[in-house]
């Protein structure tokens, strides 16, 4: 059977399934350069238009994972867990969840990413902590897990190198939005670390990567089925992203809100999502933690203490840990309701794009980030808002009438409206 690039591309263009050998040859060519960017772009487009079946998705994921290092952390630290979010505005769940679980004795190892587009990456948020070294290799991750039960950071280049090349090509060939390709990209990196189990937070709504509930459900099922088939048990929860999660969006502001959460002052929606994912992951791993146990880790101060111990172990400045400095950008824009009504809709994706354009995100990899640019969501969907009452605040480095007008246009008051359902379906193949 032909395994030349031309033969593989011809088969997939015709809608035929690729063999395991063909997929492995494709990924080998991705890594050794024998497949050109043009050929890989053609494959990606054919995969989007013709689809990949579940076997092809599994094989692609496995081959991408096998293209680099395999850490196999669960051999060193039994029952180490992991969590992944598809991302959204104000999504700081990982920052809150990790120290809570570690404080309860549940080890967590998490490779993080940087944001591109309308959502911020966890690694970008952690950059606001002076001295924090996010570079992780296997040896360092194992040491951190033994010392504090928590290792969080950006992997060195040896994890799933095939994904780096394919992801960069997907970004410029309009092939990002393919569920099999998304599945393989996420899992090739996640499974390479060798966690004992993973919980996925799959966002839906206007600020989510996958907005429609039906499509988000398909992605969640694909992630759970593929991960499980490749030997790592997984679950997924669909959660709402039709408004900022918590009250703050923007890197310094989100770290500030994280510390509030760990000290018992977190907003209800953010804590509910966090505790739900904690419960799902620990139940999956066979050592379920109750809501009372999780809440006690926060109220007792152990979660905040664990955050501090982890940050110090990864090189954070002790003076900052003792007195965190998280300044906001200086120009404050207060948005007041132009009329009374129910807050019926928030253009959440536009808020994310607006923040990115103001400096809180990057348009291309390598762009500098302004950690002080942020927004505060005062009113929530379904709230009655009297005329003249505060809807939200925006913090910019300097006045910008265009951005300020766009900010005001993102909030819609109507005569009727309702709060969205925060938690959606849960995908569990193990029960």
CA distances from 207 to 51, 112, 202, 212, 418 (A): 25, 20, 12, 11, 17
Domain annotation covers residue 63: no
Predicted confidence (pLDDT) per residue in 300-315, tens digit: 999 999 999 999 999 9
For residues 81-106, average pLDDT: 97
CATH number at residue 354: 3.90.1170.30
pLDDT at 106 over 60: yes
**Phi, psi at 375, each rounded to 5°:** -140, 150
Residues 198 and 315 in one domain: yes
For residues 50-63, average pLDDT: 98
Residues 140 and 265 in one domain: yes
Predicted confidence (pLDDT) per residue in 223-244, tens digit: 999 999 999 999 999 999 999 9
pLDDT tier, 114 (very low <50, low <70, confident <90, very high otherwise): confident
Nearest-10 crossing angle of helices 37-50, 161-172 = 80
CATH number at residue 290: 3.40.1030.10
13: containing domain:
5-51
Mean pLDDT of the chain: 95
Residue tagged 């993102």 (tokens): 410
Question: What is the number of alpha carbons within 13 Å of residue 415 lying toward its C-beta?
Answer: 0
Domain annotation covers residue 25: yes
pLDDT tier, 367 (very low <50, low <70, confident <90, very high otherwise): confident
Predicted confidence (pLDDT) per residue in 387-418, tens digit: 999 999 999 999 999 999 999 999 999 999 99
pLDDT tier, 431 (very low <50, low <70, confident <90, very high otherwise): low
For residues 217-227, average pLDDT: 98
Residues 82 and 177 in one domain: yes
How many helices (H) and strands (E) are present in the chain, helices listed first? 18, 14
Cα separation of 380 and 239, whole Å?
A: 16
Does the annotation count 170 as an active-site position?
Answer: yes
pLDDT tier, 209 (very low <50, low <70, confident <90, very high otherwise): confident
Three-state DSSP class for residue 335: strand
The DSSP output letter for 191 is: G
Cα separation of 41 and 33, whole Å?
A: 13
In the set 11, 12, 84, 362, the catalytic residue is 84
Residues 317 and 387 in one domain: no
Does the annotation count 163 as an active-site position?
Answer: yes
Domain annotation covers residue 380: yes
In the set 82, 91, 163, 206, the catalytic residue is 163
Residues 370 and 352 in one domain: yes
In the set 12, 118, 165, 189, the catalytic residue is 189
pLDDT tier, 113 (very low <50, low <70, confident <90, very high otherwise): confident
In the set 92, 138, 165, 170, the catalytic residue is 170
Give the chain's domain count: 3
Residues 86 and 41 in one domain: no
Predicted confidence (pLDDT) per residue in 176-191, tens digit: 889 999 999 999 999 9
Residues 313 and 335 in one domain: no
Domain annotation covers residue 60: no
Residues 157 and 224 in one domain: yes
Query: Which range has the worst mean pLDDT, 2-6, 8-12, 276-280?
Result: 2-6
Whose CA is closest to 148, among 199, 104, 192, 191?
104
Predicted confidence (pLDDT) per residue in 126-153, tens digit: 999 999 999 999 999 999 999 999 999 9
pLDDT at 112 over 50: yes
Residues 225 and 92 in one domain: yes
């Amino acid at each position: 059977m032909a395994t030349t690039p031309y033969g593989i591309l011809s088969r997939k263009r015709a809608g035929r399934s690729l063999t395991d050998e063909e997929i492995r040859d494709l990924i080998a060519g991705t890594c050794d350069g024998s497949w050109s960017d043009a050929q890989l772009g053609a494959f990606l487009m054919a995969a989007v238009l013709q689809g990949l079946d579940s076997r092809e998705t599994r094989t692609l994921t496995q081959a991408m994972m096998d293209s680099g290092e395999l850490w196999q952390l669960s051999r060193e630290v039994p029952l180490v867990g992991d969590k992944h979010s598809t991302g959204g505005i104000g999504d700081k769940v990982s920052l809150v969840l990790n120290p809570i679980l570690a404080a309860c004795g549940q080890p967590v190892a998490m490779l993080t990413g940087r944001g591109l587009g309308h959502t911020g990456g966890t690694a970008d948020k952690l950059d606001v902590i002076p001295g924090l070294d996010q570079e992780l290799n296997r040896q360092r991750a194992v040491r951190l897990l033994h010392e504090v039960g928590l290792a969080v950071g950006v992997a060195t280049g040896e994890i799933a190198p095939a994904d780096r090349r394919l992801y960069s090509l997907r970004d410029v060939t309009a092939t990002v939005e393919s569920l099999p390709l998304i599945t393989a990209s996420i899992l090739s990196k996640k499974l390479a670390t060798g966690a004992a189990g993973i919980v996925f937070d799959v966002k839906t709504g206007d600020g989510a990567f996958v907005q429609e509930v039906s499509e988000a459900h398909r992605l969640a099922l694909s992630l759970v089925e593929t991960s499980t088939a490749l030997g790592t048990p997984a679950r997924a929860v669909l959660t709402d992203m039709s408004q900022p999660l918590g009250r703050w969006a923007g890197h310094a502001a989100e770290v500030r809100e994280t510390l509030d959460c760990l000290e018992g002052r977190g907003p209800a929606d953010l804590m509910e999502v966090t505790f739900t994912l904690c419960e799902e992951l620990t139940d999956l791993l066979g050592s379920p933690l109750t809501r009372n146990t999780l809440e006690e880790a926060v109220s007792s101060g152990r979660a905040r203490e664990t955050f501090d111990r982890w940050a110090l172990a990864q090189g954070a400045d002790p003076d900052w840990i003792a007195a965190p400095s998280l300044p906001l950008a200086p120009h404050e824009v207060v948005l007041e309701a132009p009329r009374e009504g129910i807050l019926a809709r928030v253009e959440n994706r536009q808020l994310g794009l607006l923040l990115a354009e103001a400096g809180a995100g990057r348009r291309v990899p390598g762009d500098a980030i302004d950690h002080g640019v942020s927004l505060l969501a005062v009113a929530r969907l379904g709230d009655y808002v009297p005329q003249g009452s505060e809807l939200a605040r925006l913090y910019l480095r300097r006045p910008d009438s265009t951005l300020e007008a766009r900010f005001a246009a993102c909030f819609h008051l109507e005569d009727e409206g309702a709060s969205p359902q925060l938690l959606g379906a849960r995908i569990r193949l193990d029960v």
